[in-house]
């Protein structure tokens, strides 16, 4: 932190929040790794779409294994249906790749800055710790939204290019208009983004306890895999409602008509609970952290 900015901050003791948020966004989206990850995620629906066209078969009968996220089994219907592809790609990436991206953003937000020594500047400035957390959480949330929106957009475009505009229909066989189809994908994307905010919040909480960003990513990765394994064990079904990814397979429900809201709502509430817990812990840790 240079002397000039220090004095600038002192003269304006309450930096406007919007300026802080904009600065954080610029800081995040200028990192090459953020852009690379976003670009790779955006490519995923394209690759899946092309692969499905090349294979050109309705997929294995009986559907995929049940434990590995909703995306795989949705792929059965994704060939020949422009609506299913973006949602299937989101569901597939939600199993591991998207949480990884959220974890990376959460790791960079606090632990990464601690490691580089740039967090010290934040802690010394007259920005309250609550605001600091708000800015960091906003940054992580923005990365999650960017990833989801990028995937949804490339997914829709790929689906339309490969299958044509007339192939927007639900799993229940209802043909949808283009705006209605976009609405369905937006619903799926919004729901996935909420789940990623929960993952990002957990990453942020871990991030405040360590100065090794790698540790954050590894923890979230291990947690995601562990939760999937626990979720696949029938003997632990009392535990399942506590696992964040318990309802991640419900992403396919947005493709049904009418949409069964039960599990989607439950998943959204669960994500909100995780966000409340994780941000509380992160707040406590950030406030008690010494500058």
Binding site for other proteins (CB under 8 A): 58-59, 61-64, 66, 70-77, 80-81, 88, 91, 129-130, 166-167, 169, 171-175, 238, 241-242, 249, 252, 256, 258, 260, 262, 266, 269-270, 272-277, 279-281, 283-284, 287-288
| Gap between the Cα atoms of 25 and 28, Å rounded | 5
| Gap between the Cα atoms of 285 and 142, Å rounded | 22
Q: Toward other proteins, which CB reaches closer, 7 or 57?
A: 57
Q: Toward other proteins, which CB reaches closer, 163 or 219?
A: 163
CA 247 to chain centre: 15
Q: Toward other proteins, which CB reaches closer, 118 or 280?
A: 280
- Sign, CA dihedral 73-75-79-80, equals positive
Q: Toward other proteins, which CB reaches closer, 39 or 58?
A: 58
Q: How far is the CB of 47 from other proteins (least distance, A)?
A: 19
| Gap between the Cα atoms of 249 and 124, Å rounded | 44
Q: How far is the CB of 282 from other proteins (least distance, A)?
A: 8
Strand partners, 175: 169
| Gap between the Cα atoms of 100 and 40, Å rounded | 12
Instruction: Answer for the pair 208, 159: CB distance below 8 angstroms, yes or no.
Output: no
Q: How far is the CB of 68 from other proteins (least distance, A)?
A: 11
Q: Toward other proteins, which CB reaches closer, 46 or 278?
A: 278
DSSP 175: B
Rg over alpha carbons for the chain, rounded to the nearest Å, is 21
Q: Toward other proteins, which CB reaches closer, 208 or 224?
A: 208
Q: How far is the CB of 156 from other proteins (least distance, A)?
A: 17
Q: How far is the CB of 65 from other proteins (least distance, A)?
A: 9
| Gap between the Cα atoms of 34 and 103, Å rounded | 12
| Gap between the Cα atoms of 108 and 103, Å rounded | 9
Instruction: Answer for the pair 121, 222: CB distance below 8 angstroms, yes or no.
Output: no
Q: How far is the CB of 6 from other proteins (least distance, A)?
A: 23
């Amino acid at each position: 932190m240079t002397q000039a900015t220090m004095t600038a901050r002192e003269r304006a003791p309450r930096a406007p929040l919007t300026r802080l948020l904009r600065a954080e966004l610029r800081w995040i989206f200028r990192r090459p790794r953020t852009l690379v990850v976003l670009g790779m995620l955006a490519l995923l629906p394209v690759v899946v779409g092309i692969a499905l066209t090349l294979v050109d078969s309705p997929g294995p009968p009986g559907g995929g294994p049940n434990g590995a996220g909703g995306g795989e089994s949705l792929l059965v219907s994704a060939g020949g249906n422009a609506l299913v592809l973006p949602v299937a790609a989101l569901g597939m990436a939600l199993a591991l790749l998207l949480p990884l991206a959220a974890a990376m953003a959460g790791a960079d937000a606090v632990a990464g800055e601690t490691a580089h020594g740039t967090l010290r500047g934040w802690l010394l400035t007259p920005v309250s710790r609550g605001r600091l957390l708000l800015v960091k959480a906003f940054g992580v949330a923005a990365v999650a939204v960017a990833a989801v929106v990028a995937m949804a957009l490339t997914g829709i475009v790929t689906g339309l290019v490969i299958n044509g505009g007339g192939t927007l229909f639900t799993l229940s066989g209802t043909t949808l208009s283009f705006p209605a189809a976009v609405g369905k994908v937006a619903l799926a994307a919004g729901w996935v983004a909420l789940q990623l905010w929960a993952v990002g919040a957990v990453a942020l909480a871990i991030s405040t306890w360590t100065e090794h960003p790698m540790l954050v990513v590894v923890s979230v990765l291990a947690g995601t895999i562990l939760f999937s394994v626990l979720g696949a064990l029938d003997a632990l079904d009392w535990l399942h409602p506590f696992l964040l990814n318990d309802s991640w397979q419900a992403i396919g429900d947005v493709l049904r008509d009418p949409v069964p809201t039960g599990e989607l709502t439950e998943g959204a509430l669960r994500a909100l609970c995780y966000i409340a817990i994780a941000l509380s812990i992160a707040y406590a840790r950030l406030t008690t952290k010494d500058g």
